[in-house]
Amino acid sequence: MIRPSEDNQYYELHSPTAMPKASGFLWNENMMIHMNCRGYAVSQFMQPEPSKYSHAPNLEAKTFMQPEQPYYAHHPGRFVYIKDEESGGLFSAPYEPVRVLPERYTFFAGKHDIKWLVQHDGIAVEMKLGLSKNDPFELWTVKVANQGRAKRKISVYPYYTVGYMSWMNQSGQYHEELQSIVCSSITPYQKYKEYDKIKHLNDKTFLLADKAPTAWEVNQEVFEGEGGIGNPSALEGDTLSGSDARYEMPVCVMQYKLELEPGDETELRFIFGAARTEEDIAAIRRKYFQPGTGGSDGFAEAEAEYAAYVREGEGCLEIDTPDKALDNFANHWLPRQMYYHGRTNRLTTDPQTRNYLQDNMGMSYMAPELAREAFLTALSQQNASGAMPDGIILHKDAELKYINQVPHTDHCVWLPVCLVTYLDETDDYSLLEEKVAFADSPELATVSRHIDLAMEWLLKTRDERGLNYIEQGDWCDPMNMVGYKGKGVSGWLTMASGYAFRVWGDICQNCGRMEEAALYRQRAEETNEIVNRYLWDGNWYARGITDDNVPFGISSDKEGKVFINPQGWSLMCGAADEQKKAKLMQAVTEHLESPYGVEKLGPPYTAMREDVGRVTQKHPGTAENGAVYNHAAAFYIYALYLADEKDHAFDLLRRMIPGPDQEDLERRGQLPVFIPNYYRGAYRQIPRTAGRSSHLFNTGTVPWVYRILVDGLFGLKGERNGLRVAPRLPSDWSGVSVKRSFRGAELNVSIKRYKGIAAQEVYVDGELAEDGLLAHLETGKHYEVLVKIPG
Amino acid sequence: MIRPSEDNQYYELHSPTAMPKASGFLWNENMMIHMNCRGYAVSQFMQPEPSKYSHAPNLEAKTFMQPEQPYYAHHPGRFVYIKDEESGGLFSAPYEPVRVLPERYTFFAGKHDIKWLVQHDGIAVEMKLGLSKNDPFELWTVKVANQGRAKRKISVYPYYTVGYMSWMNQSGQYHEELQSIVCSSITPYQKYKEYDKIKHLNDKTFLLADKAPTAWEVNQEVFEGEGGIGNPSALEGDTLSGSDARYEMPVCVMQYKLELEPGDETELRFIFGAARTEEDIAAIRRKYFQPGTGGSDGFAEAEAEYAAYVREGEGCLEIDTPDKALDNFANHWLPRQMYYHGRTNRLTTDPQTRNYLQDNMGMSYMAPELAREAFLTALSQQNASGAMPDGIILHKDAELKYINQVPHTDHCVWLPVCLVTYLDETDDYSLLEEKVAFADSPELATVSRHIDLAMEWLLKTRDERGLNYIEQGDWCDPMNMVGYKGKGVSGWLTMASGYAFRVWGDICQNCGRMEEAALYRQRAEETNEIVNRYLWDGNWYARGITDDNVPFGISSDKEGKVFINPQGWSLMCGAADEQKKAKLMQAVTEHLESPYGVEKLGPPYTAMREDVGRVTQKHPGTAENGAVYNHAAAFYIYALYLADEKDHAFDLLRRMIPGPDQEDLERRGQLPVFIPNYYRGAYRQIPRTAGRSSHLFNTGTVPWVYRILVDGLFGLKGERNGLRVAPRLPSDWSGVSVKRSFRGAELNVSIKRYKGIAAQEVYVDGELAEDGLLAHLETGKHYEVLVKIPG
């Protein structure tokens, strides 16, 4: 069974086999760990590029985080073997690698820690993983208790994977004076100039113990012997052999021999992670394990500091609705996931520009000062031509990597689209007057001017019809061969430009730039006409037109007939009239909606289409090719709210957030502690795998889901003069309560259905608010808001 | 026990646990497979760069072949599970992954196939792996026999690892009409220009069965279930489930239900490997499994053709000495390994120039026409300045990779050093008159002129003292920071240049270029003076002098005191007089000799020395840092033969070739079917691991060991006028017989000790040959040669 804990701090899972890939994740300012319910782990830290201290058993490719990846016996993990010294009985917590099904098992995926409680054969094992706020290592607490009635002699063996560190140099040994296993390696390099970088890397992996172990094993081969990782030969003996590793695969295993009277409990604590030198490890030991005043020590203090850090990631909404799973997700996990994005920039030094802007759109709700800074950083990397780069460089040594080396044409769109949330939330229009230089020119220009240039760039990079060039790709579907010859155009991007012009026109109006306001609104109108002239296919909008003038994403296509993006954005930019809206919604329902959400395109491509390109080579139902790509789905839902399609919008929103239905959760295979970047799609073609969750929690979906809640579902959106109330509850909700923080004011909003009223009525502290606008709200004050809606 | 088979076609190993990393290898024109005795495999094929069809369970880094790599439960492998349908008993052949120790086990590492014979629980399993001459796939024969007295019902499940093919697209399913499991994937790419390359790749992995299976499993997760790879859950059922893989990790498992009467045997055959399309697989099926005339089919014909291909790799020596292990190695495995190098160029499209030249030096003994062509290819890539490139491009799409992007200064040296063997062996001095262009100039120049330019380049790239610049490295120890500022020099390279001048002077003399002969010999003399003036350290020669004028490889160094290369090459170039020779030999014995051969340097570096660089970051005792680096050791042995140190040379040679001592073999951990690139060194510092074999069979060692046998030990070296006989047998050998093929003549040479003679006497067909020179040998003729040596 999967359920939230009573304090909503955890999600609980009660079987290690029901959802073998279920996981939780923790992050801090310098690392991330994705912890699987069975004990496997994916962890990375920044120096400045993502690095590992716990490796696979072979040479791993260095690449971006994978959405779905297999686990296998030697996948990096954190385990505790428990051996009964008298009977020889062996099991491991949490479950891997011995795979003895414990009598009781609970996995707690938490916000600031991750825990297991495993009870087997009269022994209870509690494992807890925490982090500090900044350090690239894990804080582990292992408690072992005798729950039986007889004295027990057991050995407890914490196991931490080190893996294949380096082909150049790797070794490991126990250091008595550090009470640590220290594994050393050297990052391989070929060119002498690289040495200057690699010499500063944290190339050591260490396991530091609070209590001195009875014995240890550092050599993976010696540890496993012929028994293998599931039944290691080294555990057959009385004590581990104290091996070392010399250009052999290291492992960190310690042994604690315990004699436990009935009811006795022993607590062991460990720090596992990366360091540069033995001196650093000695300093860590002093900092974390030296008792402070009052009995607490650095370890406990770090845990408390980290919990406080995670708590900082609070949203501006606290909701109480008939849907408790939604409440839990929106109040706890969604802001947490959004905060993760904003704080870590997805653990990359060169986030894609569109991701960086959207992640910081999310930060507008929780840490607007960071969002402000990020917008300025992004604009400082704009070219004087108005073009935005493909990625934002966040570290002096960073460079554009992977997909950021492929030119995309949509980055400018996201400037007004994301900025408007910051302005709505803060009313900080002074940002528009800040002066920033360009990447290729020291000339200072206001933020307004920067965005004017971005809009002009979007107007310039159009063909003779007025459709925007796609070059080697735009957002969310890397269709790299539609327009690489310089002629192909993107339907979606043309709509998105139109939407950006409209939003920017509104912003200009708000700050008194009336001429620009009129100009951009006119451009938006013109764009809508162009969209309707060239892209309407009869029942929905086409995705684009190739270099060879072939429209695609249209009814005569066999695969990739309908794409979600042009449909949602045609609603947002206003191109679709009522008739078109009805038709395209019908098409989306027919071709793209699934029990797990709205698919990105359908039917998915099963073979290469050379004039479309890369997306058609993605596996059907995954990533961009026919998956429920939540980021794209979120825009459609947002658009439906704008179009006042309350019930349909809520229905689709609800499919995106897993739970509370247990069967649905098990099918997805992920606890509802984050929204993944996609669920497997191709529901009509490959039903067996449809709905399965990607395990990637990096996704631009989250700020948009938050914006859907604020602007759409609860309708508590900021604007220049205050907070505009316009909730769009699903018809079957009689009412909700929402706490909304807004520009320093706290609002307790009660939304209730009333029979006999024709239109919504909004009361603030008992007084009617005209047009639902809450003006003159004051920082530090509390307001009681009653919203009567017809029903 | 490890022993050669009676026909010398195999090496046998009788336990899967005694030497768990023991292996054999097969290659053909397009692929290589390194097969571990327990069933694990490393395989690669060329298209044109090395590619895999059997992958690890995670994203693997693409890199050069690793000398030592860990095996783990999910390492790619080829296994057969055998289940008793009545008792449920399960074991696997050869040993992994179930790890039931069989009652009888033999691993046969062969020349043109690799076999296992595993007997357990009344069932005998024979597994045989063969290759075809050209195709990138494996030919497997699995025979299963009932050795008991009762009828047996069993299921046989061949298992072939497919692994994590691609994050972009991977799937697998059984194709009835192809009788194959076909797993598809798409090689990931980011930039549209890469698509044009990846679209032609053999991205499918297939398992094609001769007989239709009862059932199959294609989904790794479904196959393993909670039982894991050691006890797969899918084997608990009656028949496999017929699963497929959809963006899930594929595997190729088939099930054959057999009912075997006592004495019955069933033969199953499979083809496993890479293909581009289903049509290709259908064609493979027709070609290999369609019976031909006479009962044989393509499968059997391919095996025969491959065996013939491997037999082509014959050396020019067949020896019969008191040392049977040496005989076996020199007659069978050494030429095979040499042939592998020459045919495959180590499965790279850009072999390092020095490797390419030395590998083709080896081919001079077995396929001189290929060696000739290779020398011309290499010279066509020389610059008009005389400089040789760091790698030789062998395919139009190839580029210089890895270490070939780092400028090294020794490549010119190898031209005369390797060419002389070709000339000695063939007397084809016409090669020197061939005209070849340059990489950067269409101007044609003779081979002689090319090599003159190479020698002049070596003379130009010296400092004011006459010592050769090392830049970012020279041969065999990537000391990338000695001279990157442009000042540091290499002691070894200066000696090697001197040796090259001498050899080239001799060649010039032989073809009548007397002026050049005198010139280069004079340069050689001058170089020797320079070497002695700047590099003699009192008891041995220094390795070099850094950018900051710090000599290293000297007695005052704490680590890296003595390097083997300058000692051996000082003997070869003639710099060391008798007194120096005695001293340096003493130093080598004291600091570098170990039971497993001569170490590369000593004591190995344990920490970075920033003025020396990369070598000091290699793990002590591995690769270049203090290992018994056989390639370097071979030169020392060659030099000792030139210096007439017969017994010492033979002793060191013998340590390089594993066996026959069983304890020694087990320590090394490798069957004597190849010489590895290194044995672990640091014998004085890390005795636990010293002697352990690298598993990399790519090494320039082999042609030099062959040259040691020809020029040194047996002294049957060619020269302009014939074959010069000058054997240097160890003192405790009373005599040997050698068959020597030479320029088309066949010589039966008997070398015997005679008491009472003062000097060697050589008789050809009973007639005394003056000075031991066998002149006027005729192609196609046989000669009986008696060599009497004093003793």
**Span B583-630, pLDDT tens digits:** 999 999 999 999 999 999 999 999 999 999 999 999 999 988 999 999
What is the arrangement of strands in the sheet containing A2-4, beginning at the earlier edge strand?
A2-4, A10-13, A104-110, A113-120, A123-131, A137-146, A265-275, A204-209, A180-185, A170-175, A245-246
Catalytic residue among A410, A452, A477, A711: A477
* Chain B residues touching residue A189 (CB < 8 angstroms): 614
| CA-to-CA dists, residue A745 to A332, A372, A721, A723, B575, angstroms | 21, 20, 14, 11, 89
Please name the residue of chain A whose CA is at the shortest distance from the CA of residue B61.
A61
Per-residue pLDDT tens over the stretch B60-87: 888 777 888 889 999 999 999 999 999 9
Spell B608-627 as b/e; 16+ CB within 10 A means b: ebebbbbbbbbbbbbbbbbb
Q: Which of B264, B289, B314 is the last residue of a domain?
A: B289
Q: Which range of residues forms the domain containing residue B257?
A: 2-289
Q: What is the CATH number of the domain that holds B270?
A: 2.70.98.40
pLDDT band at B467 (very low <50, low <70, confident <90, very high): very high
For A293, residues 6+ apart whose C-beta sits below 8 A from its C-beta are none
* % helix, strand, coil for chain B, step of 5: 30, 30, 40
Could you give the 3-state DSSP secondary structure of residue B496?
Answer: helix
Please name the residue of chain A whose CA is at the shortest distance from the CA of residue B172.
A619
> How close A690 gets to chain B, by Cα (Å)?
10
Contact assignment for B406 to A60 by CB distance below 8 Å: no
Give the closest of A72, A191, A472 to B192, CB-based.
Answer: A472
> How close A247 gets to chain B, by Cα (Å)?
6
Contact assignment for B63 to A68 by CB distance below 8 Å: no
Contact assignment for A689 to B220 by CB distance below 8 Å: no
Please name the residue of chain A whose CA is at the shortest distance from the CA of residue B100.
A226
Kindly provide the residue ranges of all beta strands, DSSP E only, lying in A644-734, ordered along the sequence.
678-679, 716-719, 722-725
Give the closest of B405, B620, B621 to A191, CB-based.
Answer: B405
When pLDDT is averaged across residues B410-426 and rounded to a whole number, the result is: 98
Tell me whether B200 touches chain A (CB under 8 Å): no
| CA-to-CA dists, residue B763 to A548, B418, B737, angstroms | 82, 30, 14
Please name the residue of chain A whose CA is at the shortest distance from the CA of residue B248.
A70
> How close A777 gets to chain B, by Cα (Å)?
50
Give the closest of B60, B220, B247 to A621, CB-based.
Answer: B247
Give the closest of A56, A247, A403 to B58, CB-based.
Answer: A56
Per-residue pLDDT tens over the stretch B191-233: 899 999 999 999 999 999 999 999 999 999 999 999 999 999 9
ipTM at complex level: 0.95
Contact assignment for B61 to A57 by CB distance below 8 Å: no
Check residue A136 and give its pLDDT.
Answer: 95
Handedness of CA A583, A587, A590, A593 (dihedral sign): negative
DSSP character for A32?
A: E
Residue type, A570: S
Q: Would you say residue B72 lies in a domain?
A: yes
Q: Which of B289, B323, B339 is the last residue of a domain?
A: B289
Which pTM was predicted?
A: 0.96
For A521, residues 6+ apart whose C-beta sits below 8 A from its C-beta are A501, A502, A505, A506
Per-residue pLDDT tens over the stretch B513-534: 999 999 999 999 999 999 999 9
Q: Total structural domains in chain A? A: 2
Q: A177 burial class (0-12, 13-18, 19+ CB within 10 angstroms)?
A: exposed
Q: Would you say residue B472 lies in a domain?
A: no
Closest-CA residue to B620 (of B667, B675, B684, B553): B684
**Cβ–Cβ under 8 Å, residues B570 and B587:** no
Residue type, B255: Q
**Cβ–Cβ under 8 Å, residues A73 and A66:** no
Tell me whether B167 touches chain A (CB under 8 Å): yes
**Cβ–Cβ under 8 Å, residues B19 and B666:** yes
Q: Would you say residue A71 lies in a domain?
A: yes
Residue type, A229: I
Count how many Cα atoms sit within 13 Å of the Cα of residue A288 in the half-sphere of its side chain.
30
Contact assignment for A59 to B58 by CB distance below 8 Å: no
Per-residue pLDDT tens over the stretch A571-580: 999 999 999 9
Check residue A65 and give its pLDDT.
Answer: 78
Residues in chain A, pLDDT under 70: 293-294
Contact assignment for A480 to B72 by CB distance below 8 Å: no
Contact assignment for A169 to B617 by CB distance below 8 Å: yes
Please name the residue of chain B whose CA is at the shortest distance from the CA of residue A187.
B617
When pLDDT is averaged across residues B466-482 and rounded to a whole number, the result is: 93
For B236, residues 6+ apart whose C-beta sits below 8 A from its C-beta are B227
Catalytic residue among B323, B477, B537, B557: B477
Check residue B293 and give its pLDDT.
Answer: 67
Q: Which residues between 227 and 266 in chain B have a beta carbon less than 8 angstroms from any beta carbon of chain A?
A: 228-230, 246-249
Tell me whether A445 touches chain B (CB under 8 Å): no
| CA-to-CA dists, residue B64 to A177, B51, B61, B403, B618, angstroms | 39, 11, 10, 10, 16
Residue B658 predicted with pLDDT over 90: no
Contact assignment for B617 to A99 by CB distance below 8 Å: no
Q: Would you say residue A593 lies in a domain?
A: no
Q: What is the CATH number of the domain that holds B757?
A: 2.60.420.10
Tell me whether A481 touches chain B (CB under 8 Å): yes
Give the closest of B186, B190, B230 to A402, CB-based.
Answer: B190
Query: What's phi and psi for A701, nearest 5 deg?
Result: -60, -45
Q: Would you say residue B595 lies in a domain?
A: no
Q: Would you say residue A505 lies in a domain?
A: no
Please name the residue of chain A whose CA is at the shortest distance from the CA of residue B17.
A226
Quote the CA–CA distance of B360 and B94 in Å, as a whole number.
37
Residue B727 predicted with pLDDT over 90: yes
* Chain A residues touching residue B192 (CB < 8 angstroms): 406, 472, 480-481, 484, 613-614
Query: Quick check: is B477 catalytic?
Result: yes
Q: Which of B289, B316, B348 is the last residue of a domain?
A: B289
Closest-CA residue to B741 (of B781, B684, B788): B781
| Mean pLDDT taken over chain B | 96
Quote the CA–CA distance of A544 and A487 in Å, as a whole number.
11
**Cβ–Cβ under 8 Å, residues A239 and A255:** yes
Supply B415's token pair.
Answer: 């031209």
Kindly provide the residue ranges of all beta strands, DSSP E only, lying in A421-462, ordered along the sequence.
435-438, 441-446
Q: Would you say residue A388 lies in a domain?
A: no
> How close A69 gets to chain B, by Cα (Å)?
7
- Cis link prior to B551 (omega < 30° from 0)? no
* Chain B residues touching residue A679 (CB < 8 angstroms): none
Check residue A439 and give its pLDDT.
Answer: 97
Check residue B533 and give its pLDDT.
Answer: 98
